[in-house]
Amino acid sequence: MLLLLLPLLLLLLLPLAVLWRQRAPGPGPSWLASLQHRVACGALCWAAAWQQWRLEQSTLHAGPRQQQALSRCLKRARGPPSPLRGSTDMTTFRSHLPLTEASQAPEEESGEQLLAPASKRHPGEASLQATLLGLAALNQAYPAALAPGSRACVTPTSPWPHPLPWPWCAPRRAGPPGAKDPRALLLEALRSLGLRALEAGTAAELLDVFSGLEADGEELAEAMAAGKPGAPLPARAAELREALEQGPRGLALRLWPELQVVVTLDAGGQGEAVAALEALWCHGLAFFSPAYAASGGVVGLSLWPEQPAGHYLLPPGAPVIELLPVPAGGQEEAATTVLLAEAQKGQEYELVVTDQASLTRCRLGDVVRVAGAYNQCPVVRFICRRGQALSVRGEDIGEDVFSEALGRAVGQWPGAKLLDHVCVESSILDSSGGSAAPHYEVFVALRGLRNLSEENRDKLDRCLQEASPGYKALRFRGSVGPARVHLVGPGAFGALREALAASPAGPFPPEMPRVLRHRRLARLLQGRVLC
C-alpha cells in the first residue's frame, strides 16, 4: 500500500512544484523542491529494495529463473505459432533454434546502411532494473549526487538505460529550440557551480564534449557573460576562462569543485575514452556505469560503484543470456552453450542473446571473462568484440590484443596520450597500390604530440609483432606490410561518431568501432589526417 501512496504523493507534488518555480524562481532549491526530493528518494529506496529482493531471489535460483524467462520469451514471440512455445526444455530450444551470427551488412557505396542492424533503446525489464538499482547504488555511495540541482547531463543521450523517474527527469527550463543540442546542455551545466554528478551517454561522447569545450571555450564564456540563455553570469564566465587557461588536467574539478562522480553507460569500445578522461579532464573523479549495454540491450548490471569499474552481473531474467565458451588457441569451437549457473571462473565466453521479436539465438560477438559469482550468476569483465578483429592474411589480431599493443607503442612516444583510434584493412582504402603487401591503416587521435616521426610509427609495428606471433611470422615472410600510422586532427573522431549516429542502422548503444569496414567512414578519417 505504501508503494502505491508514494507515487500518488509525487504526482500531487509535481504541479505544485512547477507553479512554485514559476512564481518564485531563486538561486537555490525551495522547501517544496526539498520535500519532493525526500519523497522521491523514499520511493526510490522502496522500488530499489523490491528490485534487489527480486534480483536476490532470481540469482539464488538461476537455472529455474532462466527457464521461466525462456517460457515468457516463447509466449510473447511474434510471428506464426511455433512448436517451441509449449516447451521450456533448453535442449529442445537449442536444437530447434541454432546459433546465428550478428548480421553484418555488406559494403554499400550509397551509405544507406553503414552498420549491422541492431536494437534501438527501448524501456524493458532489464533496463528498468538496471536504472533503479543503479540510482540506489549511486545514492548510497554518493548521497549528495541525487540532490536537487546536483546532476547535469551534457549529451543528448542519457547513461540511464530506462527513462529516469520524476523528479530526476524534471522538465528543463524554457529555452530556445534545440535544447537537446550538446552546446546548450553544456552551457546549462556550466551555469551550475554545485554539480556533484556529471552525466553523459558514453565516455566517448563525454570526450567529445570536453574537446569541444576547449575549442569553443571563449564563445561559451561570452554566451554566459551575455546571458544566452538565462541571466548574465560574468563572474562564472571569468572562472571558465581561468579554468581553461590551466590546461586539461583536472578541468572538471576546477569547473565544479564539489563534483564527485562521472556517470556514463558502458558499451563496446569505451575503454580508451575512460582512460583519457581519467588521466586528463576528469582526473581525480570516480566513474560509474549503471549497466553494460550491447546490441541486444542491457546485458550486465553494475551494483558496486565503490569497486573498480568494469565488473557486471549477468542476470537470469529477460533477455535470455547463454554463454558460448571461447576456445583456447588451436582448439575447436564449442558445440553448445552453457547457462549462467554453469559458468566457470576464469573462463572466457561469447554472449548469446535470444531475440524475442524474431525468436533467434544471436551471437553478439561480445567476449567476457568470468571474474567471480553473485549467488549462482557470474560476475564478468568484458574483454573484446569478435567482430573487431583484424585479418589481412588470416592472422586474426583481436581487439584487445591490438589495443594493448597500441597502448605500449604510445607509451614510448614522449608526451603523448592516446585519445582514440580505429584501424582499417588496406583493401578497404585500396592503399596497397596493387603491388604493396596488405597492411593495417591506423588512425589515432593524440594529446601532447603534434607530429609523428618514422621512428615512432615503427614502434607500433614492433609492438604488434611482440603481441602476435602469427603477425610476426607474416611480417618476416613479407606477406604483410608494416602498419601505417596516421595522426588525425581535433574533431575527427567526433565527426565519425556523428556519422555513425546518423545512420538509420545506428545501434543502441552507440558502440565505438575499432575496425572500420566501410569505405565511406574510412575516407572520412582519411580526409582529416594531419601527418
**What DSSP line would sit under 490-503, residue for residue?**
TTHHHHHHHHHHHS
- Closest by CA to 293, choosing from 158, 387, 421, 177, is 158
Q: What is the pTM of this model?
A: 0.86
Position 450: which residue type? R
Indicate if the pLDDT at residue 82 is higher than 60: no
CA pseudo-torsion sign 196, 263, 181, 146: negative
pLDDT for 87 equals 58
pLDDT for 93 equals 76
The DSSP symbol for 328 reads P
Indicate if the pLDDT at residue 511 is higher than 90: no
Q: Model confidence at 140, in pLDDT bands (50, 70, 90)?
A: confident
CA dist 350 and 380 (Å) reads 11
- 175-184, 193-202, 281-290, 339-348: segment of lowest average pLDDT: 175-184
Longest dimension (CA), the chain: 78
Tens-digit pLDDT profile for residues 418-471: 999 999 999 998 765 555 789 999 999 999 998 899 999 999 999 999 999 999
For the chain, what is the radius of gyration of the CA atoms?
A: 25
Q: Compute the mean pLDDT over every residue in the chain, rounded to the nearest whole number.
A: 82
Strand runs labelled E in 221-277: 261-264
Position 287: which residue type? F
pLDDT for 164 equals 73
Say what angle helices 182-190 and 217-226 make with each other, to 10 degrees: 60
Cβ proximity of 287 and 262 under 8 Å: yes
Cell numbers that stand for 192 in this block: 551550475
Q: Model confidence at 16, in pLDDT bands (50, 70, 90)?
A: very low
H helices of 390-518, in order, are 399-411, 426-429, 454-467, 469-477, 492-502
CA dist 127 and 130 (Å) reads 5
Indicate if the pLDDT at residue 340 is higher than 80: yes
What mean pLDDT comes out for the span 6-21? 44
Helix (H, G, I), strand (E, B) or coil at 301: strand
CA dist 71 and 328 (Å) reads 33
Cβ proximity of 149 and 194 under 8 Å: yes
What DSSP string runs through 189-201?
Answer: HHT-TT-SEEEES
Q: Between residues 248 and 17, which one has the greater pLDDT? A: 248
The three-point CA angle 293-295-299 to 5° equals: 40
CA dist 42 and 212 (Å) reads 38
- Closest by CA to 423, choosing from 405, 435, 436, is 405
Q: Model confidence at 17, in pLDDT bands (50, 70, 90)?
A: very low
The three-point CA angle 366-369-370 to 5° equals: 130
CA pseudo-torsion sign 454, 455, 456, 461: positive
Tens-digit pLDDT profile for residues 466-504: 999 999 999 999 999 999 999 999 999 999 998 888 776
Strand runs labelled E in 339-491: 348-355, 360-374, 377-385, 417-425, 440-447, 484-487
